[in-house]
Each structure stands twice: as structure tokens, then as C-alpha cells.
Chain A
Amino acid sequence: MAENVLPEHNYLKEPKGLKSWLLTVDHKRIGILYLIGISVAFLLGGVFALLIRLELLSPGATIMTADTYNKLFTLHGTVMIFLFIIPSIPAALGNFVLPLMIGAKDVAFPRLNLLSWYIYVIGTCIALTSIVLGGVDTGWTFYTPYSTQTTTQVISMTFGAFVLGFSSIFTGLNFIVTVHKLRAPGMTWFKMPLMVWALYATAIIQVLATPILGITLVLLILERLFAIGIFDPAMGGDPVLYQHFFWFYSHPAVYIMILPGMGIISELISTFSRKTIFGYRPIAFSSVAIALIGFLVWGHHMFVSGQSEVAAMVFSALTFFVAIPSAIKVFNWLTTLYKGQISFETPMLYALWFLCTFTIGGLTGLFLGTLSVDVHLHDTYFVVAHFHYVMVGGTVMALFGGLHYWWPKMFGRMYNETWGRISAVIIFVGFNLTFFPQFIMGSQGMPRRYFDYVPEYHSMHMASTVGSWVMAVGVIIMLHYLLSSLRKGEIAGNNPWGALSLEWTTTSPPSPHNFDEQPVITHGPHDYDKVIVERTIPPR
């Protein structure tokens, strides 16, 4: 049962001192460092979002000029995407749990791991410099030719994103080698937790796609500096070619965002229904399938950009294909829930929210992938609602669920479960209130990235803005009880949830080298029907 002190020999305390943290090669510490980074980024991006919604509370200028508005939605996008969501689950949670889950002492290249964090910090600083110097107003997509002509700080922002790309590549590289080479004896591929499969598939995308972003941003910077003429129509270049380059990365990037979240959901659904996951192999293979097929659909962002019709048809068809593996996962999760012993603890609440909101987001993606429908919906709020349903309703819900799930492992203490549930409900309500009206507005024609709107959309915008406030309240509550749990939380013990993957066999928090003895694999990671493990914290 739970002890009343934290284990003496834990990674948070050993070695001591700030310098030992800044020069750490311990994957757990690096995960925490990333967690701090992405949390700050999330709050910054969130502030931008609240300002956007505040401006849109009423038509016309409410609190800012149109130029400022353009900068705000651009900065909201770039900060949330490059500084927060792409590193979030892999680098913060993944770094922490991946080696533990496969019974390894660390990732394959610990020093590269630390380097990737420093690159993240440097990239973030460069991006922040761009913001301080006045920001960018091109939209996070930096479409040419506007991005090559605008006088805003495009170069520093794109250079920041370029640097951040390396952080992502190194994380992905590290994870691929770790999963291939550092699994404990007996940990075959099909005994790995589904979180590891998800991180592995994500890592494949990170290494294949991010270099193209790198070259795209370099070309954009050179286009701005030297007018090389690749993307500028006045110089004989093709702006749609820029979009091909950009979306070849940025579409797989959305799978970088969602796949790790799906990995978390597999863990949560299985653990909190105390049931073997239904369809382990389909879920595992579908992660890889999403990663690979996800590279073939980027043109669906360009249906109305001047792309050839035949290419548009090909991309549309492939977009329908990529939905299939995601659907397979949702069906398997639902089947896992069926007749399970479900406990509605905070991580599970987030998993259940995910099932609702991700499904809506995913289905609306299919509407957008339908060529003729997209002609009407492109660049409307329907698109905005779609991607927020998958990125926030998907990834962020999964992130919050995973954060609560592994919080006791990372810090040895439980958060306040009551507040956890309250906050989860507030966030769910706030999220839907913010973004569901946007589906309606978008289908009625409200364009995105618009500073002003006709009075017909006023009530929808108001609802959306109020929703953003509700969400903010939920997040603030969450921050508060999580941070206060670090001092006052109940001691968790090794396995507060009674889960079966390897990270729960070691202490909470783990010792610096993870396991005292090499773990022996005797069962699958989700085999709740074969193995019963006691929870160190009783269900609430």
C-alpha cells in the first residue's frame, strides 16, 4: 500500500543542484525540462487565443486594430504548433515514459536528447524575439508571395521554426533507435505498450517530414533576402510550389500531433477499464499506417489554391484512406470499454472526452476532404473548428489525460482528484462551447482569419468567446491543483492505478537509472485479464 514518504533515491533529488539539471542526460529530467517549456508555450499561445476571442466578441474593432489581429492569430498558430503541440507529448511525456516502458535505462543517445532540449530553448528564444520585435502577420502557414513581401518579422520567426525543427528531428531519431535497440530482453515488438508504438510511428514522421520543413523555411528566408525566384510569381516562381513544400511537412505534422495522443488513449482506456486492449495489433499497425499514409494527403490543403484537378482528386481519395486507421483505433477503444470495469477518474475522463471530440474532429476532416464540399468550407471557421477539435479535443485532451496519469509516476504524488474531475468537466464544456459554434458559423460562411464580421455571426462569436473563458478557468484550476500537489499531494506509491506496463514496477518517482534490476517481461502491457496488480491508491 502507499507509503508516507517519497523514495529517497529518486531522479528529482539526485544529483542535486541547478547545474545538474541543466547538464542532465537523464531522460526523465529532460522530460520535465520539456514539460516546463511546453507549459509556458501553451500559456503564451493561450493568452493569444484569449485575446483573439476577446477581439471577436463583437463586430468591428473591439480591442485592437486589424493589423494587430493578423499578428495575433499568426502568433497563436506558430506558438501553439511549433513551441507547444509538436514537442508536447513526445518530448515531455514520451521522453519520460518511453525508456521506462521498454525496460531501458535511458534513450539511445542521452546527450543528443539534452541537445534537442537546448535547441528547443534556442528556437523558442528566436521565435520570441520575432514576437518582441513586432511579430508576423502572414498566418502560421507563411504563404508566399505575401510572406516574401510583408515587412513583419518573418525571417526571425521562420528561422526560429527552422531551429525547432532540429529539436523535433533529434527527438524522433533518438526514439527510433531506442525502440529498435534498447528494449529489455523479452520485450518483443508485440509486448511493447501501445504508447511506445505510437511514439515510434510519430518518430518516423518526425525524421521523414521535418527536413522538408527545414528546406522550405530556408528557401523562404532566401526568397525574402535574395529574391531567388523559387516561390515568387513576379520572378517566374510558383507560389503553389511553396504550398506543396510547406504542406508536405505540415500535414504529416498533424499526425505528429495526434499519434502520441492516441498512444496515451490506448493506455488510459485499457488501464481504467481494467481490460485487455481489444485489437492490440490493429492499433499498433494502424499507428504506423497513419504515419505512412499521412504523407500522401497533403494536397487536401490546396484544393482551391490552383492545384491541378487530377492532383486534387488523388489527394481527396487518399484523404479518405487515411481516416480508416484512425477509425480502426476508435472502434477498438470502444470495444475495449465494453463490459470493462470503468473507473471515472480524471485521466479516464480525458480519454472519454477524447473519444467524443476527436471523433467529431476526425469526421469533419472527411467533410473537408470531400472536394466539392471543401470549395465552400475552405478558409471558413469550419476548418478552424475541425482542427481545434482534433488538436485540442484530441491531442490536448490526451495530453491532459496522460499528464494526470503519469503525474504520480513523475512526481511521486497524487493531485487532488475532486478538483481534477471538476476541472476536466469545465474544460470539456468550455472547449465545446468555444468550438462547436465555429462549425456552425463556418458552414454558414464565416471566413477564418477575419478581423471583422457581419452581425449575423455575432451570437455565435459571443458563445465562442465565452467558451474560451470557461476553458481558461478550467486550465487555471488544473495548473493550480497540479502545482500544489507537488508539495501537498498524497504519496502515490509505485502503482497508483494498478497498471501493467513496466514504468509502474519501479518507484514513484523512479531512481535515476530507472530500474534496480533488469526488468523481466512476463506478460503483455495490457493483459488485465491475465494479471492482477494491486493499486497503491484506492479508486476514488
Chain B
Amino acid sequence: MSDSTTHAAHLQHHFADAEQQRESAKLGMWVFLLTEILLFGGLFCAYTIYRAWYPDMFLNAHKALDVTMGGINTVVLITSSVTMALAIRYMQQDRRKQTIAMLSTTLVLAGVFLVIKYFEYMHKIHLGQLPGKYYTFTGIEGSNPHIFFSVYFLMTGLHGFHVIGGMGAIAWLLAKTRKGQFSSAYYTPIEMVGLYWHLVDMIWIFLFPLLYLIG
């Protein structure tokens, strides 16, 4: 069952066997995801503090966000997580064509996410709902509404940045899958990018209610 050529070609010399290599990769990726959790965590902390200090302003300011677009984006990302998981599953079964289809779908969905975000951002730029000193919108009650938008742009911006990075990684996976460099014996990179992608989805799962659904 195991394809010994892909298996041996990818076994690096300092590992005793493929399993040690795969487990190391997995642990390494989880530790990396840990650092990402802490990175975003700083922004979640800023959000928490400022929301606690300006609860009414946050309530008013968040109404400027479009729940529909945010909701669609949530659906898009969740679906892309499903397709990413399926991509791995198909490669576990050596079904290369389906893997490519799933990876491509994930990539497209990620693109859709960014397009929707683009429209959201453009709308805010048009209205002057910008971070910090660039804030010129006058329709929101409360103290310092620019803080909400600073937090909004920081959190969604950093998240979007990670979506772009993820798209690059998925495109790289697509190229390698097309060349036949993965099989049921070796698909670790797809699995690792998958873990990263699910984290990106997970962060949005928290961003969406905290920013869009304050209530």
C-alpha cells in the first residue's frame, strides 16, 4: 500500500523513520499554531480591555458592520475548512484528482472571503470609518469610536493577512499535488497546511461574534 518512492524520497536523514518525521512535523505545526494563538491573543486582549472601558460605544459602533456580509464570510470559511479536511481525506485514499478539486475549492473560497472583506473595507473607507487619526465618520455616538475601528481593522486585517498566507500555501500544495509528489504514504504538508487553515477559520469563528454580533 505504501508508495515507497515518495516515502523514501521525503524521509530526511536525521529522522529514524517516516513516523518520527510525521509526528515531528505535526508537533512542530501545533507549536507554531500556539504562537499564532498568542499573536492574535494580543489583539483579543486589546479588544477585551477597550470593550470593557467603552461598552456603549462598542455597541453603537458595531452597527456599522454588515452582519450579512460577515455571516456569509463565516459560512465561506467554514465551508473552506470542510473542503480542506476533505482534501486531506482524499489524499489519504490516493484520490489525487479529488484532492486537487478540494484544494482548488478551498482556494476559491478563500478568495471569496477576501473579496467580501474588500467590499466591507471599501464601504468603511468611503464613510470615513477608519482607524485612529484617519477616522472622520460622525454618525456614531459614544466616546472615541475610532478605537472600535482601530480594533476592527487590526483584527480583521491581521486575519486577512493570514488568509492570504494560507492561500499561498494552498497554491503551493496544489502545484505539488499536480506533480504527483504526495500519496497516501506521504501527505504531511497537506495535513500541516490544513491545520493552519483550520486555525484561520477558528480565529474568524471568534472574530465574527465579537465584532459583528455584539447584540
Contact = CB atoms under 8 A, between A and B. Distances in A.
Given A181-B23, A219-B46, A211 B132 contact: no
B131 A229 contact: yes
A245 interface: yes
Contact of B132 (A173, A176, A209, A227): A227
B14 A212 contact: no
Interface in A173-230: 173-174, 176-177, 180-182, 207-212, 214-216, 219, 222-223, 226-230
A106 B14 CA distance: 6
Given A108-B28, A219-B46, A229-B146, A210 B35 contact: yes
B137 interface: no
A367 B18 CA distance: 53
A261 B15 CA distance: 29
B168 interface: no
Interface string B19-43: 0100110011001101110111111
Given A228-B132, A236-B143, A104 B31 contact: no
B46 A169 contact: no
A208 B132 CA distance: 29
B35 A169 contact: yes
Interface in A228-250: 228-230, 235-238, 241, 244-245
A235 B14 CA distance: 54
A105 interface: yes
B179 interface: no
B35 A226 contact: no
A110 interface: yes
A109 interface: yes
A177 B27 contact: yes
B134 A226 contact: yes
Contacts of A208: 34-35, 38
B154 A173 contact: no
A13 B144 CA distance: 63
A513 B14 CA distance: 8
Contacts of A172: 31
B42 A216 contact: yes
Contact of A230 (B36, B41, B147): B147
B33 to A, nearest CB: 10
B18 to A, nearest CB: 13
B16 to A, nearest CB: 8
B131 A245 contact: no
A104 B14 contact: yes
A353 B39 CA distance: 38
A205 to B, nearest CB: 11
A226 B149 CA distance: 12
Contact of A241 (B32, B41, B49): B49
Which of B43, B46, B50 has its CB near the most chain A CB atoms (within 10 A)?
B46
Contacts of A108: 14, 24, 28
Contacts of B39: 211-212, 214-215
B126 interface: no
A211 B31 contact: no
Nearest to B46: A230
Contact of A226 (B13, B32, B133): B133
Contacts of A112: 28
A241 B38 CA distance: 16
Given A212-B42, A238-B49, A230 B31 contact: no
Nearest to A216: B42
A181 B25 CA distance: 10
B202 to A, nearest CB: 16
A241 B143 CA distance: 18
B133 A245 contact: no
The 9 closest A-B pairs by CB, nearest first: A215-B42, A236-B144, A228-B132, A227-B133, A211-B38, A106-B14, A228-B150, A211-B39, A105-B14
17 contacts: A105-B13, A177-B27, A181-B24, A182-B24, A208-B38, A211-B42, A212-B42, A223-B132, A227-B132, A227-B133, A228-B132, A229-B144, A230-B46, A230-B147, A235-B133, A236-B143, A241-B46
Interface of A: 104-110, 112, 169, 172-174, 176-177, 180-182, 207-212, 214-216, 219, 222-223, 226-230, 235-238, 241, 244-245, 513
